[in-house]
Amino acid sequence: MVSRKRCLVLGLTAFLWVAHAQQEDQKCRLLRKFNLTGYVEAKNHSVVIGGLFPIHSRTIPTDDPDGEPVSAMCEGFNFRGFRWMKTMIHTIKEINERKDILPNHTLGYQIFDTCYTIAKTMETALAFLTGQEEFQPNFRNSTGKYLVGIIGAGGSSLSVAASRILGLYYMPQVGYTSSCPILSDKFQFPSYLRTIPSDKIQSEAMVTLIKHFGWVWVGAIAADDDYGKYGVKSFREKMESSNLCVAFSETIPKVYSNEKMQNAVTAVKKSTARVIVLFTTDIDLSPFVLEVVHHNITDRTWIASEAWITSALIAKPEYFPYFGGTIGFAVPRTIIPGLKEFLYDIHPSKDPNDVLTIEFWQTAFNCTWPNSSVPYNVDHRVNMTGKEDRLYDMSDQLCTGEEKLEDLKNTYLDVSQLRITNNVKQAVYAMAYGLDRLSRCDLPKRENADAKCSHMPDFEPRELLAYLKELTFTTHDGRNIHFDLNGDLESGYYDILNWQIDNAGEIAFVKVGEYKFQQSNFELVLLKNATLFWNTESSGLPDSVCTKLCPPGTRKGIRQGQPICCFDCIPCADGYVSEKPGQRECDACGEDDWSNAQKSKCVPKEVEFLAYEEALGFTLVILSIFGALVVLAVTVVYVIHRHTPLVKANDRELSFLIQMSLVITVLSSMLFIGKPLNWSCMARQVTLALGFCLCLSSILGKTISLFFAYRISKSKTRLISMHPIIRKLIVLICVLGEIGVCSAYLLLDPPRMYKNIEPQNVKIIFECNEGSIEFLCSIFGFDVLLALLCFLTTFVARQLPDNYYEGKCITFAMLVFFIVWISFVPAYLSTKGKFKVAVEIFAILASSYGLLGCIFLPKCFIILLRPKRNTEETVGGRVPTVDRSIQLTSASVSSELNNTTVSTVLDE
């Protein structure tokens, strides 16, 4: 594309020269000339530097849009642009006076007014390349001197337009206020450099500032040009990468459109965003400001780009109620020595042909310069009602020339905020330093640099460009300027300014911080002693959100089809919390914790186990102790009456073993109470199993004696008596077998304490993991077998006519035992937590009380309350026939049937 454009221009040039050669008598004449204004000083100088500045803010619309194209006139004098232009002239004069830069050469200048329009910028670019004089299509302007580069063009869109033409010939162009990111593309703009940071850095700075103040829902308004569009594009990308949202994005039209302007105003009014970014220049922003004032839009915080943050056109006291508290970024401020005096050295009488100075004077002092054709107060802007204002009236007051510039308060003479103005100075110096290196043949150190030793002024533009791309120099205020390969500043910083009102009622640009950048490193620094002004009802930090931050205990829920900043606050589920506001997800609590009622904090779970302190545990402890005391009381009774026949009957030692085992079982229930520990988990089941084993094996020894007594009574035969040692051996063998199984259980897979953490439960249940179920079933299965044998043997001997009914008592005891433990199984499986343990303790106590009551209560009753029946005759011999109430014992029955005494079966 670039080659085709260049070929086209060259072809047209060749055609003109051929036509001139063929028709020597006929001269080629320009039909029209561009209507350009500016300044030129090229005589007696080695080379010329071009300049492009927006001295006017717009062009006068053409009355006949269907007619032939004409070069438009300009209107709307821009004091700021006029100051920039004067700064370039001042800087060139300063360089020419120096001996350390270009000592053998001087610089001239040719400056044009771009009128802040693309069309006029294209005209000036073409004029720089070809000139407007006949027979001089030499692509190097018409001053007669070599044009070495351009400073400008005072706006991103203007620089883009100019650079597309100048870049075809690699004409160096150094911008001072064009920050559009697209200008970093060296494929499209190979010869463009700038002394202002790219908007990519400014966008990063804006997003960092937004994040710092906690704003997440921000509007964006941009000018309808390259500066605004690419700036907002970069800003949106940075916002999205930071998970922030752009509430709306509107444009301010370059050519006034009431519909587009109202769309922008409506978006600001209706949006919940209270923070709005304005990516536009002061000239484009001015109509929007009037609309904001007209609609009385307040309570907004505006984030300003560097193009208007210090603009006197916007920073007016009457706009402060609407734009007060504006915060934004500005290029560094400095003081330029001698500039103020140079700016004051201006007067229309010095040059009657200086139309720009005359227009400046007329506009500044609201008067008409005598005998001047320069129009005054020409304004073709469209007002807020959509009607076009055409003001051609000359001022009735004539200028006297005695007006004093010291009485003026306008942007031109305001040297308190020299920011972009300083960029102009550095752009000129960059061009001068590059020429100085070229003149001294100071070749760039970079490899493959397109540079060679050349002689001034005879060199190609691309040769100077090679020197500029690796240029580093120090400014008058100590800053280092270094261009990277894209022509951008490699390092620097922004001032962060806040609009406040001073004591005089004027807007003050208060520096509240800095944003530093160097390559890929960025740092936002706010001054500690800085006080920011916010234009809110409470004068506090504005809150700009689509949805208020979700409080702790809730999480963000996505709204389908809406930005991520618009969400619903959904309560966290049980067991999940969000401790910080605005969390996207709820965090799961640890296994030992649970969420509180507000779901804002994890708290330790309630620990559940059957504690001694609670009523249920205390009751069970009392029952256990009471049972043990009852058994001990029975033992005391047995010890006291140990020589009585009833105690001696059917093996006294076994009775004591049963009593001891019952003490063990009822007290073992206390091991189930309290916080489970590893040792208590191992002790509880083993102690219970051994206690029941001892008890049931002892009962089995008794029941076998009764069984044999019953068989003797039935068979009426003499039977050798069972020695008491056999019954002890039965007990010993059973207990040793149980001990062996329990030992293997404890060694191979013992019980352990564990935390039962059930899903969606606020409790931690401390339980015992019983380890091997097989071993557990084995040890208690053995007890069940003993109980079954006891029941069968006593059931068979239940009709033995004992006066104290021991056979029947043991039968009932075994029935109670089985009923209790059979009922225990479903009750145990249907309960959880501490109640599960309580059920097991109830079963232990109930079975123990059942055995105690059924076996020993009848004997204790006879021993204590019916001592007359506790005699040898009653227990072991015949009963007198006169006393029919006393039934025969198994001993007496056996004695009668066999005519001998077999009481050894029942005695010790």
User: Would you say residue 879 has pLDDT above 70?
Assistant: no
Residue type at 19 in one-letter notation: A
- For residue 826, the tally of other CB atoms under 10 A from its CB is 10
For residues 312-325, give the mean pLDDT.
92
Judged by average pLDDT, the poorest of 313-327, 371-385, 572-586 is 371-385
Of 882 and 313, the structure prediction assigns the larger pLDDT to 313
For the chain, give the percent of residues with pLDDT over 70: 84
pLDDT tens, position by position, 555-569: 988 888 888 888 889
- The string over 150-167, giving b where at least 16 C-beta atoms fall within 10 Å of a residue's C-beta and e elsewhere, is bbbbbbbbbbbbbbbbbb
| Chain Cα centroid distance, residue 540 | 24
pLDDT for position 410: 83
Residue recorded with tokens 């200048």: 109
pLDDT tens, position by position, 412-434: 998 888 999 999 999 999 999 99
For the chain, give the percent of residues with pLDDT over 90: 32
For residues 254-281, give the mean pLDDT.
91
d(CA 367, CA 110): 29
pLDDT tens, position by position, 359-372: 999 988 988 888 87
Could you tell me the maximum CA-CA distance found in the chain, to the nearest angstrom? Answer: 180
Residue type at 175 in one-letter notation: G
Judged by average pLDDT, the poorest of 362-371, 392-401, 455-464 is 392-401
User: Would you say residue 200 has pLDDT above 60?
Assistant: yes
- For residue 39, the tally of other CB atoms under 10 A from its CB is 20
Q: Angle between the 834-865 and 678-715 helix axes, to the nearest 10 degrees?
A: 40
User: Would you say residue 26 has pLDDT above 80?
Assistant: no
Instruction: Give 871's pLDDT tier (boundaries 50, 70, 90).
Output: confident
pLDDT for position 501: 92
User: Would you say residue 857 has pLDDT above 90?
Assistant: no
pLDDT for position 855: 84
Instruction: Give 722's pLDDT tier (boundaries 50, 70, 90).
Output: low
| Average pLDDT of every residue of the chain | 82
Judged by average pLDDT, the poorest of 42-51, 648-657, 783-792 is 648-657
pLDDT for position 203: 93
Closest CA to 690 of 641, 746, 759, 649: 746
Instruction: Give 710's pLDDT tier (boundaries 50, 70, 90).
Output: low
Q: Is 877 helix (H, G, I), strand (E, B) or coil?
A: coil
pLDDT for position 800: 55
Residue 843, H or E segment? helix 834-865
DSSP 72: P
Q: How many residues does the chain have?
A: 908
pLDDT for position 25: 45
- Which residues 6+ apart lie within 8 Å of 564 measured at CB? 243, 245, 558
Judged by average pLDDT, the poorest of 140-154, 572-586, 689-703 is 140-154
- The alpha-carbon radius of gyration of the chain (Å, integer) is 54
Residue 173, H or E segment? strand 173-175
- The string over 70-108, giving b where at least 16 C-beta atoms fall within 10 Å of a residue's C-beta and e elsewhere, is eebbbbbbbbbbbbbbbbbbbbbebbbeeeebbeebebb
Instruction: Find which of 251-265, 448-462, 725-739 is predicted with most confidence, using mean pLDDT.
Output: 251-265
Query: pTM here?
Result: 0.67
Instruction: Give 886's pLDDT tier (boundaries 50, 70, 90).
Output: very low
pLDDT for position 604: 87
Instruction: Give 140's pLDDT tier (boundaries 50, 70, 90).
Output: low
Closest CA to 224 of 190, 259, 254, 204: 254
For residues 479-484, give the mean pLDDT.
89
Closest CA to 416 of 531, 322, 506: 506
d(CA 498, CA 514): 12
pLDDT for position 797: 63
Closest CA to 13 of 131, 119, 120, 124: 131
For residues 691-718, give the mean pLDDT.
71
User: Would you say residue 357 has pLDDT above 90?
Assistant: yes
- Token pair in block for residue 830: 């249907």
Closest CA to 427 of 804, 92, 807: 92
pLDDT for position 770: 80
pLDDT for position 674: 85
Residue 726, H or E segment? helix 724-748
Judged by average pLDDT, the poorest of 150-154, 697-701, 883-887 is 883-887
d(CA 703, CA 811): 9
Peptide bond just before 581 cis, omega within 30 deg:
no
Are 555 and 570 spatial neighbours (Cβ–Cβ below 8 Å)?
yes
User: Would you say residue 83 has pLDDT above 90?
Assistant: yes
The string of DSSP letters for 444-497 reads -SSTT-------SSS--HHHHHHHHTT-EEE-TTS-EEEB-TTSSBSEEEEEEE
User: Would you say residue 2 has pLDDT above 50?
Assistant: no
pLDDT for position 17: 43
Instruction: Give 392's pLDDT tier (boundaries 50, 70, 90).
Output: very low
User: Would you say residue 18 has pLDDT above 50?
Assistant: no
Q: Is 124 helix (H, G, I), strand (E, B) or coil?
A: helix
pLDDT for position 894: 34
Are 179 and 156 spatial neighbours (Cβ–Cβ below 8 Å)?
yes
For residues 372-393, give the mean pLDDT.
50
Of 712 and 443, the structure prediction assigns the larger pLDDT to 443
Distances (CA, A) of 175 to 147, 152, 160, 194, 233: 16, 5, 10, 4, 21
